Amino acid sequence: MKTILILGITTALVLAGCSSPSTPTQSAPATTAKSGGYYLDDGPEPSPPANLDAVPDAVPRDEPLHRFANRPYVALGKPYTPKTARRAHREEGVASWYGKRFHGRKTASGEVYDMYAMTAAHPTLPLPSYARVTALDSGKSVVVRINDRGPFHAKRVIDLSYTAAHKLGYLKRGSTRVRVESLDPAAYDTRGEALQEGVFLQVGAFSRADNAQQLLDRLTQALELDPGSSCVVLSDKLHRVQLGPYPSDDAAQAARARVRERLDLNAVLVRRD
């Protein structure tokens, strides 16, 4: 397999944070200067949004891996071999962040970097993929979509977007120790909430999300469902409409009978372990 060589722009900057899909480069970490200013004038725009705390976490969803951005490459003389499948990954180390110096430039995946989105750069996790990043000092956590490469710096394991770093509370410090855990999109519903375990009813499965939502709305109205007792689960590229969880198989069977009686629909029991 061809290995891509990444050339440094300057020894001080290490590597620029964004690039074309065929030449993934590093997001330069932001650290604060002793005077209190941002490193190399990185940081927010003159008038950053006032509601960054309200920016929702990334929602894990099943996406095809990038065709080129997961090939082996070399950065600062060190070879990296990205993962080419989404498998469990957990590590602890230092997180940094990058801001306006790279805002609007292309990431290693070819997407445009948005410092106000919930994204991140990682040296080897698949592009794109999702991870939960937890600050070890505060316990705060965010879910980010990984769409860039970096950081290529000793002991640093991930670079977060400006907003993600803001939500973890380490903008002024420039870095903090974190735990990074990869997320399986199949373990989340389409709202980005972790799936509960137990017995459920699956009432339908659709290739289109809007069709699944229409059925969910219909079920909610006809059965007078409580919030949180139904969801759309994205699995194997299908949007699956599920009700539950139920405390027992008997309770699920009773609900199945109500679905058949009121909507003339057949549901099947499914278990999440």
Over the stretch 10-46, which tens digit does the pLDDT of each residue have? 222 333 333 333 334 445 555 443 333 455 567 666 6
pLDDT, mean of residues 174-188: 86
Sign of CA dihedral 110, 111, 115, 120: negative
With a CB cutoff of 8 Å and minimum separation 6, the contacts of 174 are 29, 30, 31, 32, 39, 96, 97
Q: Are 178 and 165 in contact (CB under 8 A)?
A: no
105 by Cβ neighbours in 10 Å (0-12 / 13-18 / 19+) ranks as middle
**Residue found under tokens 């590093």:** 26
Report the alpha-carbon distance of residue 67 to residue 83 in Å, rounded.
13
* Strand bridging mode 90-98 / 156-161: parallel
Could you tell me what percent of the chain has a pLDDT over 70?
79
* pLDDT for 143 beyond 80: yes
pTM of the model: 0.63
pLDDT, mean of residues 134-147: 94
In the chain, what are the domains? 4-183 (2.40.40.10), 198-272 (3.30.70.1070)
Report the alpha-carbon distance of residue 120 to residue 160 in Å, rounded.
4
The structure tokens listed for 216 are 């969910």
**Residue found under tokens 């339908």:** 204
Cis peptide before 247 (omega within 30 of 0): no
Report the alpha-carbon distance of residue 30 to residue 121 in Å, rounded.
13
Q: Could you give phi then psi for residue 166, rounded to 5 degrees?
A: -60, -45
What pLDDT, in 10s, does the model give residues 184-206?
876 666 566 667 778 999 999 98
Q: What is the largest CA-CA distance in the chain?
A: 71
What pLDDT, in 10s, does the model give residues 85-117?
888 899 999 999 998 888 899 999 999 999 999
Minimal CA–CA distance to 113: which of 49, 53, 174, 160? 160
Minimal CA–CA distance to 143: which of 115, 182, 200, 100? 182
Report the alpha-carbon distance of residue 238 to residue 46 in Å, rounded.
43
Q: What is the mean pLDDT of the chain?
A: 81
The structure tokens listed for 68 are 């080129």
Minimal CA–CA distance to 235: which of 95, 52, 60, 78? 60
With a CB cutoff of 8 Å and minimum separation 6, the contacts of 210 are none
The structure tokens listed for 180 are 């990074």
Classify 61 in phi/psi space as left (phi over 0), alpha (psi -120 to 50) or beta: beta
What pLDDT, in 10s, does the model give residues 232-252?
887 777 888 999 889 999 999
* pLDDT for 9 beyond 60: no
Q: Are 105 and 18 in contact (CB under 8 A)?
A: yes
The structure tokens listed for 77 are 């003389």
